[in-house]
Amino acid sequence: MTTLNSATISSLTSIPHPTYDRTKIRTGIVHFGLGNFHRAHQAMYIDRLMNDGLALDWAICGVGVMPSDAAMRDALNSQSGLYSLTLKHPDGTLEPRIIGAIKEYLFAPDDPRAVIAKLADPAVRIVSLTITEGGYNVNQVTGDFDLENPAIAADLKPNTLPRTVFGLITAGLHERHMNGIPPFTVMSCDNIQGNGEVARKSILSYSRAKDEDLAAWIESEVRFPNSMVDRITPVTTDGDRTLIRDTFEIDDLWPVVSEPFTQWVLEDDFALGRPPFEEVGVQLVDDVEPYELMKLRLLNASHQAMAYFGYLSGHRYVHEAAADPLVHELLRRYMDDEATPTLQPVPGINLDVYKRTLLERFANPAVRDTLARLCAESSDRIPKWLLPVVRANLTAGSPVRLSAAIVASWARYDEGIDEQGETISIVDRLANQLTAAAKAQSEQPLAFLQNPDLFGDLAANEQFTDPYLSLLTTLKTKGAQHALADLLS
């Protein structure tokens, strides 16, 4: 058994590993939110470039800001930043590789000054983000940055070392501005429409509250390219660790498993240059929006469509739900009838082929992605992925019956009890509020919708509430399978 680190990597024979000299790579990217997705996606692309002798000055420094990120710090630092990425093909074939693009990892609660110093380093030219949909501290309906968030308010106090992503990035930009160093580009890789614009608005809102002159410089000089990213990457399990250990004889504390499919569409807008991403399949474009809408409204919203109905039907894995004929039909009809009509033309993409590929990806039994992961943090996901479809169709006078049913399935799921009477663990920043509203539905049928921060005025729109209430009643009285059968009949 080989312990994975820089001293042992050259001796590995069971798995492909970096062919480049990792002692000579230099940090050019600081990444906030270094989790499994980033390691299966952006870090993988950089590793591919490095193996081709390119981008050796674009190595990654990961930064963690949450207390839970200490586990990633410990795992990566003990392994010299190395980890295994194993692609799981539908036929059971495993395609492994050791990724070496991460040069260092900083844990902000340990030493925020070290993070600020790294951000101020002229060698750093890109700061990238995967801080989750809810990490941008934005009101779901108004789109305004929440300056009253206690963590933000604490960062804004004079002479305080920042602890949040926005505080740290702004502090790094302040150092660069004071020292005459051009600003880095901020590149969001989160599943949000206009993710670069969202990052720009959040950072500008914070910086204006902190320093108007600095904010003016950021607004004028900092680039915030939009991007669309895609690769299904489940949470690492102990079974994954055992699989890597037994199959490849490598002791990896935090391996990553993923589907083979990957996609990255990126707006080509970088002030201080960028890695030659186009050499490894990244699509560089002038306008990302059509691709964003396609992915968010077809893939991400379909994840939510199968998540609650699938879980309530007794499934626990995505591939199980995708194999359920009723769930499969719901996904197909939602994509064709309600999502696709709201999309713009997508250059270079055949939408029929794209949708068939999505259904095939969902059905991959090797990935073993859990429905619980898809059900988590729904208050950040549904408003960004599904409700824009609802509003577009309401404006056009088009049907919203299937979308309303998906929201109703979320409301039923958040009651916290499944159809066998077992407790459902609701993982959401608004869990207590959502569960209370869901449990009030017996006396107040629209209670779940009466949260304007999530749903705006949908509770007053009968074109939406009529199918919502009909489906919710069937879910509560007959169960998910009967509700789906009625919905699709």
Q: How far is Cα 439 from Cα 431, in angstroms, rounded to an integer?
A: 12
Q: From CA 111, how far away is CA 459, in angstroms rounded?
A: 46
Q: What is the topology classification, in CATH, of domain 289-488?
A: N-(1-d-carboxylethyl)-l-norvaline Dehydrogenase; domain 2 (1.10.1040)
Q: Under 8 Å CB-to-CB from 166, ≥6 apart: which residues?
A: 137, 152, 155, 202, 203, 206
Query: What is the reported pLDDT for 363?
Result: 97
Place of tokens 């309401």: 394
Q: What is the 3-state secondary structure (H, E, C) of 326-381?
A: HHHHHHHHHHHHHHHHHCCCCCCCCHHHHHHHHHHHHCCCCCCCEHHHHHCCHHHH
pLDDT for 13 equals: 86
Confidence at residue 1, expressed as pLDDT on a 0 to 100 scale: 85
Number of other residues whose CB lies within 10 A of the CB of residue 160: 11
Cα gap 357→397, rounded to integer Å? 29
CA dist 273 and 270 (Å) reads 5
The predicted pLDDT at position 143 comes to 85
pLDDT per residue rounded down to tens, the chain (489 residues) = 889 999 999 888 889 999 999 999 999 999 999 999 999 999 999 999 999 999 999 999 999 999 999 999 999 999 999 999 999 999 999 999 999 999 999 999 999 999 999 999 999 999 999 999 899 999 877 889 999 999 999 999 999 999 999 999 999 999 999 999 999 999 999 999 999 999 999 999 999 999 999 999 999 999 999 999 999 999 999 999 999 999 999 999 999 999 999 999 999 999 999 999 999 999 999 999 999 999 999 999 999 999 999 999 999 999 999 999 999 999 999 999 999 999 999 999 999 999 999 999 999 999 999 999 999 999 999 999 999 999 999 999 999 999 999 999 999 999 999 999 999 999 999 999 999 999 999 999 999 999 999 999 999 999 999 999 999 999 999 999 999 999 999
Cα Dmax for the chain: 66
At 304, which amino acid appears? Q
Beta strand spans in 83-226 (E): 83-88, 94-99, 102-107, 126-129, 185-188
How many contiguous H segments (helices) and E segments (strands) does the chain have?
A: 22, 13
The predicted pLDDT at position 485 comes to 98
Residue 123: exposure state from Cβ atoms within 10 A (0-12, 13-18, ≥19): middle
Place of tokens 């990302």: 288
- Contact between residue 110 and residue 124 where contact means Cβ atoms under 8 Å apart: no
Q: Give the list of residues 6+ apart from residue 6 with CB closer than 8 angstroms, or none.
A: 22, 80, 82
Residue 228 is predicted with a pLDDT of 97
As a whole number, the mean pLDDT across the chain is: 97
Beta strands in 11-122 (DSSP E): 27-32, 59-64, 83-88, 94-99, 102-107
**Sheet with 27-32: strands ordered across:** 102-107, 59-64, 27-32, 126-129, 185-188
In angstroms, rounded to a whole number, what is the distance separating the alpha carbons of residues 191 and 201? Answer: 16
Q: In this structure, is the dihedral angle defined by the CA atoms of residues 340, 261, 125 and 215, taken in order, positive or negative?
A: positive
Phi, psi of 129 (to 5 degrees): -135, 130
Distance CA 82, CA 100 (A): 5
- Nearest-angstrom CA–CA distance, 35 and 72: 8
How far, in Å, CA of 124 to CA of 131, rounded? 19
Here the tokens at position 296 are 């968010």
Residue 56 exposure: Cα atoms within 13 Å on the Cβ side: 12
SS (H, E, C) 388-444: HHHHHHHHHCCCCHHHHHHHHHHHHHCCCECCCCCECCCCCCCHHHHHHHHHHHHCC
Q: Indicate the domain borders of the chain.
A: 2-285, 289-488
pTM summary value: 0.90
Burial of 77 (0-12, 13-18, 19+ CB in 10 A): middle
- Kindly report the number of other CB atoms within 10 A of residue 351's CB atom: 16
Specify the DSSP class assigned to residue 71.
H
Q: What dotted CATH number matches 2-285?
A: 3.40.50.720
- For 47-92, what is each residue's pLDDT tens digit? 999 999 999 999 999 999 999 999 999 999 999 999 999 999 999 9
Residue pointed to by tokens 């359920």: 324
- Which tens digit of pLDDT belongs to each residue from 145-166? 999 999 999 999 999 999 999 9
83-88 and 94-99 beta bridge pairing: antiparallel
Task: Look at residue 33 in the predicted model and tell me its pLDDT.
Answer: 97
